[in-house]
Structure 1
């Protein structure tokens, strides 16, 4: 990934978080955290990775709130970033923390046999 792309991803992440925190008044998006952003090379799409509040109903409501606020956030991003083309925003739940926890749990459950002392045959 180029330096410019990395910088743009970081700017989209930072500005989106700021807009959500300070300018979006929808109570459904309270507690939503922006964890990252990935803008396509052609600037048509920006995937914004978010963490929703716990609870199935709260997640559904928060996602609906983000979808409703997306045009406003996009307009604000355009003003803040001064891009020729402001990408369409797609909010996606970041599941990396959940995946890491699942992997750690699996690794804890794995039993690793003790290695035989040096010089001892493995299969006697």
Structure 2
């Protein structure tokens, strides 16, 4: 991928983060982090990966709010980025943070279960 595309991806990531944080007034939108932006080589499409923290209900509300705000976010992006064509944007959930938290939880359970067995083993002697 070219340097130009990478620069545009980073700029879109920063600007969309700022738009969501400061520009959106939708009460459904909770804590959102833009984790990655993939722009096609022809600069016509941008996939914006977001991580949404909270309960399943909060996730659904935030997701609905983001989908509803796509047009506004693209319009604001056009005001902030100086390129000939602003790509069509689409949001995609990035579940890597939730997945890593789940893995960490499983590791902690295994670790705690292992400590419980060794303590019981020592008490029996």
**SS at 1:27 equivalent:** coil
The aligned residue for residue 60 of structure 2 is: 60
Structure 2 CA distance for aligned equivalents of residues 58 and 90 of structure 1: 20
The aligned residue for residue 71 of structure 1 is: 71
Gaps of 5+ in 2: 109-125
Contact 2:34 / 2:51 at 8 angstroms: preserved in 1?
yes
Structure 2 CA distance for aligned equivalents of residues 104 and 63 of structure 1: 25
Structure 1 CA distance for aligned equivalents of residues 107 and 22 of structure 2: 41
Per-residue deviation at 1:30? 2.5
* C-alpha RMSD of matched pairs (Å): 2.2
**SS at 2:31 equivalent:** coil
**SS at 1:34 equivalent:** strand
Structure 2 CA distance for aligned equivalents of residues 104 and 59 of structure 1: 21
The aligned residue for residue 4 of structure 1 is: 4
Per-residue deviation at 1:9? 0.7
2:32 counterpart of 1:32: yes
Per-residue deviation at 1:11? 0.3
**Matched residue count:** 110
Whose helix proportion is higher, 1 or 2?
Answer: 2
Gaps of 5+ in 1: 109-124
Per-residue deviation at 1:96? 2.3
Deviations 1:71-124 (A, max 9, x none): 01001101111221111111111122344456678899xxxxxxxxxxxxxxxx
Structure 1 CA distance for aligned equivalents of residues 103 and 21 of structure 2: 32
